[in-house]
C-alpha cells in the first residue's frame, strides 16, 4: 500500500511538472503574439485552487491531474467584441498559430535539456558496459562476442553506460545486423563484431534486449552465502539466517555456486525441500517451503534470500559529471538522440517491427516515477527528461485531437492558402479521438498484463 501511494504521488508530481511546462509553452508564445488567454488549467474537473492575474487570465489547479489546457480567446466559440477581435487566436496569421501550437511540445524538449543539464552538473553514478556471461549457442555467442570486454559503440552509437547500450539495442530492433564495437582488457585498439539479428526475437515483457541476444552485464562474484533473509519470508520461517553458507538442496551439492542454488529452488514451488547449510562450523539441514511466484510465464519457487557479493571492481564504476559548457552539449545531444529514437520507434510500430505489446501506459509510468524517486533526485531528473520527451513526441503525432493534428491542418492552410473546412476538421477530431483512445486502451491493457 505504501509503495502504491509513493508511486502515485511521484506520478502526480512528475505529470504536474510536465503538463505545466507543456501548457506554459502554449501560454507564453500566445501572450507574446498578442492572444488573450482566458484560462491556464493544470488538470480537469472542479478547481481546487484559482487565481486571476492583471491580464484577466484565470490560473487553475483542478482535481483530476491527468492533463491540462490553455483556453485562448477565439471568435469561433466565444462572443467577441469588435475591440477584442485582434486578440483572438483565430485572427492571428497561420505562422503565429503554428508557433503557438508547436510551443507546447518544444517546451517539453527544452525542459528535457534543462533536466539532463542539471543531472550532468550534479553527476550521475554509472557503470561501464562490461560484458559478463555470454550464453552458448546465442546470437552473441555465434558472433564470438567476448566476455569481460567493454562495449564502446553499437552500430556507430557511442555507449558509455548500460543505459546507452539499452537505448542503442532498442533502436536496432528490426535491423538485420548489429555491429558491436568493443575493447578488451589489455588491448589498445577496439574490435567490431557483427551480430546477425535476422532471427532476433525480443519480448521486453519477458527479458531484456541483452539477454535475448545472449549476453549479460558483468556481475561481481556471488557467494553461496546469505547476506539477507527477508522478514516473514519462507526462508525466515524455515530458520535460515544471515551468514549461513549453502551446501546442498534436495541432497544435491551446489559446490559454492549461488546460481545453481537459485535455479534449483525455483523447481520447488509450494513443496517441502531439504536445504543443508554450514553455520558456526556445523552442517545443519532445514526443511524449507518456497512460495509459488510467477516469473517469465512460469510458476517458480521463491525463498526470500539474497547472497553475499564480492565488491564491484572500482575501475568499472565512474560518474558522468561535466562542466557547465560540456554539460549543455551533452544534454542537448542526449535529448536529440532520444527524440530521434522515439520517432524511430513510432515508425517501427507502424511497420510492425516493434509490437504494440511494448506500449506502456500510466501504470508503468507511475511505477517508473516511484522507482526513480527511490533512487534519488538525479535519477528522478532523468526520468522527468525521458517522459517529457515522450510527451512532446506524442503531442506532435498528426492526430487531429493533438497538437500535431492542429499543426497538420495549419500546414495544409499554408499550402492551399485557405483554412481546412470545419466539417473536415470535425471528422478528423472524431477520428483522432478514437485512435488516441485505442492506443491508450492498448497501453493500459499492457500495463495490467505486466502486474
Q: Which tops the pLDDT comparison, 274 or 444?
A: 274
The model's pLDDT over 287-329, given as tens digits with 9 standing for 90+, comes to 999 998 877 667 888 899 999 888 888 888 888 899 999 999 9
Supply the pLDDT for residue 14: 80
Angle at 407 between CA 391 and CA 105, to 5 degrees: 25
Q: Domain ranges for the chain, please list them.
A: 1-12+92-123+322-451, 125-219+311-320, 222-309
Closest Cα to residue 100, out of 438, 421, 403? Answer: 403
| HSE-up of residue 36 (Cα within 13 Å, Cβ side) | 17
The model's pLDDT over 31-46, given as tens digits with 9 standing for 90+, comes to 999 999 999 999 888 8
Average pLDDT taken over every residue of the chain: 84
Supply the pLDDT for residue 382: 84
- Chain position carrying cell 486578440: 87
Average pLDDT over residues 360-364: 47
Supply the pLDDT for residue 353: 63
Q: How many Å apart are CA 43 and CA 41, to the nearest integer?
A: 6
Q: How many Å apart are CA 333 and CA 378, to the nearest integer?
A: 18
Residues 6+ apart with CB under 8 A from 407: 98, 101, 102, 396, 398
Same fold for the pair 125-219+311-320 and 222-309: yes
Closest Cα to residue 113, out of 327, 347, 257? Answer: 327
Supply the pLDDT for residue 354: 62
The yes or no reply on domain 222-309 and CATH 2.30.42.10 is: yes
CATH number listed for the domain at residues 125-219+311-320? 2.30.42.10
> Three cell numbers at 55?
491580464
- Chain position carrying cell 492571428: 92
Average pLDDT over residues 224-238: 90
Residues 6+ apart with CB under 8 A from 144: 193
Sheet strands (E) in 53-158? 58-72, 124-127, 131-134, 149-154, 157-158
**Annotated catalytic residue 142:** no
Q: How many Å apart are CA 365 and CA 440, to the nearest integer?
A: 13
Q: How far lies 38's CA from each of 78, 242, 356, in Å?
A: 11, 63, 39
> Three cell numbers at 169?
539495442
**In the predicted structure, residue 331 carries a pLDDT above the cut 60:** yes
**In the predicted structure, residue 6 carries a pLDDT above the cut 70:** no
Q: How many Å apart are CA 175 and CA 258, to the nearest integer?
A: 36
The model's pLDDT over 262-292, given as tens digits with 9 standing for 90+, comes to 888 899 999 999 999 999 989 999 999 999 8
pTM, entire model: 0.76
The model's pLDDT over 165-220, given as tens digits with 9 standing for 90+, comes to 888 888 888 888 999 999 987 777 889 999 999 888 877 667 778 888 999 898 88
Of the listed ranges 8-12, 138-142, 156-160, the one predicted with least confidence: 8-12
**In the predicted structure, residue 114 carries a pLDDT above the cut 90:** yes
Please, are residues 52 and 58 in contact by the beta-carbon 8 Å criterion?
yes
Amino acid at each position: 500500500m505504501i509503495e502504491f501511494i509513493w508511486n502515485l504521488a511521484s506520478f502526480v508530481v512528475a505529470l504536474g511538472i510536465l503538463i505545466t511546462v507543456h501548457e506554459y509553452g502554449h501560454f507564453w508564445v500566445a501572450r507574446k503574439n498578442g492572444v488573450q488567454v482566458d484560462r491556464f488549467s493544470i488538470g480537469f474537473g472542479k478547481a481546487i485552487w484559482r487565481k486571476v492575474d492583471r491580464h484577466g487570465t484565470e490560473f487553475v489547479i483542478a482535481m483530476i491531474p491527468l492533463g491540462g489546457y490553455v483556453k485562448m480567446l477565439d471568435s469561433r466559440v466565444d462572443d467577441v467584441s469588435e475591440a477584442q477581435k485582434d486578440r483572438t487566436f483565430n485572427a492571428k496569421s497561420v505562422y503565429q498559430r503554428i508557433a503557438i501550437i508547436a510551443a507546447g511540445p518544444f517546451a517539453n524538449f527544452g525542459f528535457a535539456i534543462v533536466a539532463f543539464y542539471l543531472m550532468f552538473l550534479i553527476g550521475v553514478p554509472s557503470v561501464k558496459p562490461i560484458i559478463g556471461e555470454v550464453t552458448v549457442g546465442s546470437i552473441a555467442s555465434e558472433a564470438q562476442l567476448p566476455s569481460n570486454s567493454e562495449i564502446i559503440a553499437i552500430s556507430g552509437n557511442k555507449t558509455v553506460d548500460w543505459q546507452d547500450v539499452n537505448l542503442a539495442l532498442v533502436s536496432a530492433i528490426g535491423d538485420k545486423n548489429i555491429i558491436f564495437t568493443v575493447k578488451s582488457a589489455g588491448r589498445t585498439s577496439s574490435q567490431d563484431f557483427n551480430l546477425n539479428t535476422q532471427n532476433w526475437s525480443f519480448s521486453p515483457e519477458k527479458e531484456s534486449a541483452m539477454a535475448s541476444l545472449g549476453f549479460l552485464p558483468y556481475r561481481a562474484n556471488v557467494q553461496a552465502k546469505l547476506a539477507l533473509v527477508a522478514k516473514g519470508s519462507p526462508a525466515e520461517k524455515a530458520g535460515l539466517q544471515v551468514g549461513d553458507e549453502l551446501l546442498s538442496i534436495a541432497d544435491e551439492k551446489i559446490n559454492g555456486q549461488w546460481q545453481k542454488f537459485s535455479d534449483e529452488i525455483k523447481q520447488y514451488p509450494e513443496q517441502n525441500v531439504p536445504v543443508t547449510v554450514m553455520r558456526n562450523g556445523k552442517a545443519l539441514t532445514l526443511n524449507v517451503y518456497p512460495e509459488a511466484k510467477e516469473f517469465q510465464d512460469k510458476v517458480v519457487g521463491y525463498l526470500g534470500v539474497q547472497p553475499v557479493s564480492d565488491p564491484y571492481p572500482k575501475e568499472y564504476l565512474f560518474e558522468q559529471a561535466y562542466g557547465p559548457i560540456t554539460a549543455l552539449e551533452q544534454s542537448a545531444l542526449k535529448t536529440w538522440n532520444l527524440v530521434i529514437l522515439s520517432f524511430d520507434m513510432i515508425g517501427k510500430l507502424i511497420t510492425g517491427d516493434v509490437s504494440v505489446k511494448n506500449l506502456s501506459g500510466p501504470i508503468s509510468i507511475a511505477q517508473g516515477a516511484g522507482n526513480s524517486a527511490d533512487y534519488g533526485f538525479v535519477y528522478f531528473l532523468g526520468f522527468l527528461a525521458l517522459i517529457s520527451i515522450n510527451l512532446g513526441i506524442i503531442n506532435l503525432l498528426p492526430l487531429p485531437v493533438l497538437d500535431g493534428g492542429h499543426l497538420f491542418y495549419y500546414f495544409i492552410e499554408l499550402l492551399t492558402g485557405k483554412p481546412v473546412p470545419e466539417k473536415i476538421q470535425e471528422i478528423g477530431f472524431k477520428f483522432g479521438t478514437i485512435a488516441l483512445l485505442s492506443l491508450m486502451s492498448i497501453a493500459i491493457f499492457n500495463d495490467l498484463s505486466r502486474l
